[in-house]
């Protein structure tokens, strides 16, 4: 009574069977599976996604498809999981500006210099920016720079670069 006629061959519409799936340009099957796992999780209590890589996939697609709730969830999870380097890279890539100042602050205040791997991941502009900020903080350390002053310095530097378009890598 409610069945549709069976269509075969070239007349099969996209998405009706596995032979003609719906294709989503520039989206990998793995990334799409990760996004779908938010809607249809195998583990209802803890969720299926655990790593920065998995949540980064969700953030990318949620941003692309304007799934605001899923984007906010990915941002919240990545804020807990991602390193400061990851937060800077992902924050620029997906316009999560609230991550930038805190990530810069953590990198400026840590004792260790950037590693070669971290520098390669960040790129030249961010490496130089971090170097300038760390140098300013350390030269002011003789007079003990307060935490709020460091945050202000970082905010001013990020704002100046944003004004010149050197910091926006969202394209």
The whole-model pTM stands at 0.74
Tell me if 55 sits within 8 A of 49, measured CB to CB. Answer: yes
How many helices (H) and strands (E) the chain has is answered by 8, 0
Find, among 34, 168, 31, 37, the residue nearest to 94 by Cα: 168
Q: Which residues contact 38 (CB under 8 A, 6 or more apart)?
A: 47, 49, 58, 70, 73
Q: Is residue 12 left, alpha or beta, with left meaning phi > 0 and alpha meaning psi from -120 to 50? A: beta
73 versus 170: the higher-pLDDT residue is 73
pLDDT digits (tens, 9 = 90+) for 6-20: 656 666 788 788 788
Domain ranges of the chain: 26-81, 84-171
40-54, 128-142, 156-170: range with lowest mean pLDDT = 156-170
Tell me what pLDDT residue 162 has: 65
Nearest-angstrom CA–CA distance, 68 and 59? 10
Nearest-angstrom CA–CA distance, 60 and 57? 5
Q: Which residues contact 101 (CB under 8 A, 6 or more apart)?
A: 151, 154, 155, 158
Banded model confidence at residue 170, pLDDT cuts 50, 70, 90: very low
pLDDT digits (tens, 9 = 90+) for 71-99: 999 999 999 999 999 999 999 999 999 99
Tell me if 74 sits within 8 A of 59, measured CB to CB. Answer: yes
Tell me what pLDDT residue 171 has: 40
Rg (CA), the chain: 22
pLDDT digits (tens, 9 = 90+) for 104-160: 999 998 889 899 999 999 999 999 999 998 888 877 655 566 777 878 878 887 776
């Amino acid at each position: 009574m409610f069945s549709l006629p069976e269509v075969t061959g070239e007349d099969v519409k996209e998405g009706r069977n596995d032979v003609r799936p719906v294709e989503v340009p520039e989206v990998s099957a793995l990334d799409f599976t990760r996004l779908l796992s938010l809607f249809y999780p195998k583990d209802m209590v803890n969720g299926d996604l655990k790593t920065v890589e998995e949540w980064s996939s969700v953030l990318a697609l949620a941003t692309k498809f304007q799934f605001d709730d899923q984007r906010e969830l990915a941002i919240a999870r990545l804020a807990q999981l991602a390193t400061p380097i990851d937060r800077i890279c992902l924050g620029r890539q997906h316009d999560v500006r609230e991550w930038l100042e805190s990530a810069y602050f953590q990198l400026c205040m840590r004792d260790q210099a950037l590693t070669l791997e971290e520098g390669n991941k960040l790129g030249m502009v961010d490496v130089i920016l971090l170097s300038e900020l760390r140098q300013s903080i350390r030269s002011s350390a003789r007079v003990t720079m307060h935490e709020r002053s460091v945050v202000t310095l970082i905010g001013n530097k990020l704002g100046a670069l944003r004004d010149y378009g050197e910091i926006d890598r969202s394209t």
